[in-house]
């Protein structure tokens, strides 16, 4: 009798446990939906007031209640594209270096551990370093070129951003390159291909879409990066006219102005920027992961 | 003759490529190492007993420390962990136990997307969810923002670890009549303990350096604060505020705080690595 009871008890506990598991899974969905709904509902006011012109007007002047997100969109895209362009050859070289030339051994361990550790350095510290080491250098450089020596600006933030995303993008490319079947490489080598030819004719064609996905994901990373860019971009709410001019990104304008926004429309306009940022990064990471998954299945 | 030439040029290309790859890698590793070195050099100069035990002093006075930021950071991490660790593990179990289900697939997508949400957006969310209803900045709201950022990391590492636990282990336990919940909690989870622990450490390491989500939640506080529902300082916030200030004393404190934070984050990630290797 007692045994039956305890079995029934255990079964009902197991049942409750399964329900808890399922509910926590649903909670993850609810959190993401909650994030989206909160942003959308708080952004509604600004989108009603400003309409679609919010996205293409280029004046951001909270005092006169004119809110246009275009300069920040451009600022975000320019810094991220520039950072990605700077970092790409390096991270790719590093991935090849670690994946093909230096597969094991002490040096390989040191390099990859260093990369992992550097990926862990907080963004605010990169910004701090950039402010004190890089910005003076850039200022000298600008003096040499004879342009206004701001020091801070798109160029400075892109360089630091590039340094920051290298560990991330190198580790993705490395993983992708590691997925290229060994027998393909060996087949090419046995036909007399040099390492260079193996890389350009076997690895690259095979890992093409994986690498592309990695680039998209790194791009998403660069776009969402906040602190270092906020400290280095110079915070100017206008469309940048040159690579050295101060600007603002979606993330940096949020970091700078959100705490000061007391007016409803101002606050709502800032949250519209956050919504934009949310969508852009979500799309990049979604497409990146989708490509990688499809590539891994079809191989 | 022609064949020989083409072989030569192929080999030359190969060597050139090798050099380019090596040089580019070195050019990259060096500045990164230089950053690390720079932080150590400037940070260690400001380490002293007072640095760890005192609160920041006013502009003009020398000395002072970052004890309030250390306490604040620990409070924020603690709050985030209380929410994110149990929930993250549960969601991870759910995902690894329901590999085929459509809902789990969608949950996984949501967790991945959540991981990609920019940290500054998380700050705004915590502002809207906690700061606005409660009427003020607080350590609690900052902890919640960090918890949402930590959650996907714990979930993913739990799922990835548990998928590797052999099904036969679970089946053996179930066949012996051990109820489902005990099987999961006492057989499957312990088998994946080190992986999950390392995921937790990585999650803590990730959020302890976050600044953006704290700007409008924990907000910062120049004084010692231990109340969970009042604004607190944290190391990243202190670095941000003092790095952008014009005062040298404050910048020195910020370098010290940077080194402390880097040491903390790096030792967590090293610990996480060691755990996985076991």
Tens digit of each residue's pLDDT (9 = 90 or more) over A8-46: 888 899 999 999 999 999 999 999 999 999 999 999 999
pLDDT of residue A299: 54
pLDDT of residue B137: 94
d(C-alpha B222, C-alpha B203), whole Å? 27
d(C-alpha B78, C-alpha A278), whole Å? 27
A contacts of B104 (beta carbons < 8 Å): 25
Confidence label for B58 from pLDDT (cuts 50, 70 and 90): confident
Confidence label for A50 from pLDDT (cuts 50, 70 and 90): confident
- Which helix (H) or strand (E) is B112 found in, with range? helix B102-116
Crossing angle of helices A70-96 and A204-224, in 10° steps, is: 140
pTM (predicted TM-score) = 0.93
Q: How far apart are the first and last CA of chain A?
A: 58
Stretch A118-145: mean pLDDT, rounded? 92
Q: Which range is least confidently modeled, A123-137, A162-176, A270-284, B80-94?
A: A162-176
CA distances from A136 to A75, A139, A172, A255, B244 (A): 22, 5, 33, 24, 15
CA distances from A6 to A9, A11, A15, A40, B178 (A): 5, 8, 14, 50, 12
Stretch B211-238: mean pLDDT, rounded? 92
Closest CA to A267 of A254, A276, A280, A279: A254
What is the tens place of the pLDDT at every residue in B3-36? 667 888 889 989 999 899 888 888 888 888 888 8
Query: What residue ranges define each of the domains in chain A, with the CATH number in brackets?
Result: 54-298 (1.10.3720.10)
Percent with pLDDT over 70 in chain B: 98
Residue B129 tokens read as 């969810």
- Which residues sit opposite A247 in a β-bridge? A234
Closest-CA residue of B relative to A110 is: B29
- The answer to whether the CB atoms of A14 and B181 lie below 8 A apart is yes
Q: DSSP of chain A, one letter per residue?
A: -HHHHHHHHHHHHHHHHHHHHHHHHHHHHHHHHHHHHHHHHHHHHHHHHHTTHHHH---EEGGGTEE--HHHHHHHHHHHHHHHHHHHHHHHHHHHIIIII--SSHHHHHHHHHHHHHHHS-HHHHHHHIIIIIHHHHHHHHHHHTS-----SHHHHHHHHHHHHHHHHHHHHHHHHHTS-HHHHHHHHHTT--HHHIIIIIIHHHHHHHHHHHHHHHHHHHHH--HHHHHHSB---S---STTS-B--HHHHHHHHGGG--SHHHHHHHHHHHHHHHHHHHHHHHHHHHHHHHHHHH-
pLDDT of residue A130: 94
pLDDT of residue A260: 86
- Which residues sit opposite A61 in a β-bridge? A66
Using CB atoms, pick whichever of B24, B114, B212 lies closest to residue A255: B212
Q: Quick check: A85 pLDDT over 70?
A: yes
Interfacial B residues in 101-160 facing A (CB < 8 Å)? 103-104, 106-107, 109-121, 123-125, 127-129, 148, 151, 155
* Mean residue pLDDT across chain A: 90
What is the tens place of the pLDDT at every residue in A182-219? 899 999 999 989 889 999 999 999 988 888 998 999 99
pLDDT of residue A119: 84
pLDDT of residue A126: 94
- The answer to whether the CB atoms of A118 and B124 lie below 8 A apart is no
Q: Is B232 helix (H, G, I), strand (E, B) or coil?
A: strand
Q: Quick check: A92 pLDDT over 60?
A: yes
d(C-alpha A35, C-alpha A142), whole Å? 42
Q: In this structure, what are the phi and psi dihedrals at residue A234, rounded to the nearest 5 degrees? A: 90, -10
Confidence label for A262 from pLDDT (cuts 50, 70 and 90): confident
Confidence label for B57 from pLDDT (cuts 50, 70 and 90): confident
Residue A146 tokens read as 């004879």
Q: Is B73 helix (H, G, I), strand (E, B) or coil?
A: helix
Stretch A163-179: mean pLDDT, rounded? 88
- Cα Rg, chain B, nearest whole Å: 24
Stretch B71-81: mean pLDDT, rounded? 96
Do residues B88 and B278 make contact, with C-beta atoms less than 8 angstroms apart? no
d(C-alpha B28, C-alpha B34), whole Å? 10
Residue A232 tokens read as 């280095």
Using CB atoms, pick whichever of A32, A124, A289 lies closest to residue B114: A32
pLDDT of residue B49: 86
Confidence label for B104 from pLDDT (cuts 50, 70 and 90): very high
pLDDT of residue A243: 87
Stretch A121-144: mean pLDDT, rounded? 93
Q: What is the largest CA-CA distance in chain B?
A: 84
Name A27's Cβ contacts closer than 8 Å, sequence gap at least 6: B87, B91
Using CB atoms, pick whichever of A115, A126, A254 lies closest to residue B120: A254
Q: In chain B, what are the domain boundaries? A: 2-45, 53-277
* Mean residue pLDDT across chain B: 91
Do residues A258 and B85 make contact, with C-beta atoms less than 8 angstroms apart? no
Closest CA to B203 of A120, A29, A172: A120
Q: B53-277 has which fold?
A: MetI-like fold (1.10.3720)
Q: Nearest-CA distance from A231 to chain B in Å? A: 7
CA atoms within 13 Å, Cβ hemisphere of B1: 0
Closest-CA residue of B relative to A256 is: B215
């Amino acid at each position: 009798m007692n045994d039956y009871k305890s079995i029934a008890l255990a079964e009902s506990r197991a049942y409750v446990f399964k329900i808890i598991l399922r509910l926590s899974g649903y909670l993850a969905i609810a959190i993401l939906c909650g994030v989206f709904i909160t942003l959308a509902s708080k952004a509604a006011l600004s989108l009603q007031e400003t309409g679609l012109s919010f996205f293409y007007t280029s004046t951001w002047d909270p005092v006169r209640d004119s809110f246009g997100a275009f300069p920040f969109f451009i600022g975000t895209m320019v810094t991220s594209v520039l950072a990605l362009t700077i970092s790409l050859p390096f991270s790719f070289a590093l991935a090849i270096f670690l994946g093909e030339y230096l597969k094991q051994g002490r040096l390989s361990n040191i390099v990859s551990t260093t990369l992992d550790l550097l990926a862990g350095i907080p963004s605010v510290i990169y910004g701090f370093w950039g402010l004190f080491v890089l910005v003076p250098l850039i200022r000298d450089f600008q003096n040499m070129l004879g342009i206004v020596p701001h020091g801070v600006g798109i160029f400075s933030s892109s360089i630091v951003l590039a340094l920051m995303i290298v560990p991330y993008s190198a580790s993705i490319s490395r993983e992708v390159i590691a997925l290229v079947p060994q027998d393909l490489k060996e087949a090419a080598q046995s036909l007399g291909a040099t390492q260079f030819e193996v890389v350009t004719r076997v690895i690259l064609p095979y890992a093409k879409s994986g690498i592309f996905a990695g680039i998209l994901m790194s791009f998403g990373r660069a776009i969402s990066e906040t602190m270092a860019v906020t400290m280095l971009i110079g915070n100017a709410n206008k469309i940048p006219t040159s690579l050295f001019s101060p600007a603002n990104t979606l993330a940096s304008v949020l970091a700078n102005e959100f705490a000061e926004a007391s007016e409803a429309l101002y606050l709502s306009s800032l949250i519209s920027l956050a919504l934009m940022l949310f969508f852009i990064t979500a799309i990049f990471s979604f497409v990146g992961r989708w490509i990688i998954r499809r590539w891994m299945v079809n191989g | 003759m022609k064949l020989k030439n083409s072989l030569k040029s192929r080999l030359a290309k190969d060597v050139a490529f090798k050099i380019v790859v090596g040089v580019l890698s070195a050019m990259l590793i060096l500045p990164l190492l230089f950053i690390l070195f720079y932080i150590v050099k400037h940070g260690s100069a400001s380490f002293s007993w007072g640095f760890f035990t005192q609160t920041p002093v006013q502009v003009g006075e020398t000395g002072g420390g970052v004890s309030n930021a250390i306490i604040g950071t620990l409070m924020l991490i603690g709050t985030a962990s209380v929410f994110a660790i149990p929930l993250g593990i549960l969601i991870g179990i759910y995902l690894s136990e329901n590999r085929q289900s459509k809902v789990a697939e969608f949950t996984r997508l949501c967790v991945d997307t959540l991981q990609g949400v920019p940290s500054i957006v998380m700050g705004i969310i915590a502002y809207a969810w906690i700061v606005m209803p409660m009427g003020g900045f607080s350590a609690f709201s900052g902890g919640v923002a960090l918890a949402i950022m930590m959650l996907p990391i714990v979930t993913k590492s739990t799922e990835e670890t548990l998928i590797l636990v052999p099904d036969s282990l679970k089946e053996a336990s179930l066949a012996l009549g051990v109820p489902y919940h005990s099987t999961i909690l006492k057989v499957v989870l312990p088998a994946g303990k080190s992986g999950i622990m390392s995921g937790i450490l990585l999650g803590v390491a990730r959020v302890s350096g976050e600044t953006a989500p704290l700007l409008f939640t924990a907000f910062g506080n120049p004084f010692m604060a231990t109340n969970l529902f009042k604004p607190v300082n944290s190391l990243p916030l202190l670095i941000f505020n003092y790095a952008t200030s014009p005062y040298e004393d404050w910048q020195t404190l910020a370098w010290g705080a940077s080194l402390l934070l880097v040491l903390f984050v790096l030792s967590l990630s090293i610990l996480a690595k060691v755990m996985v290797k076991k």
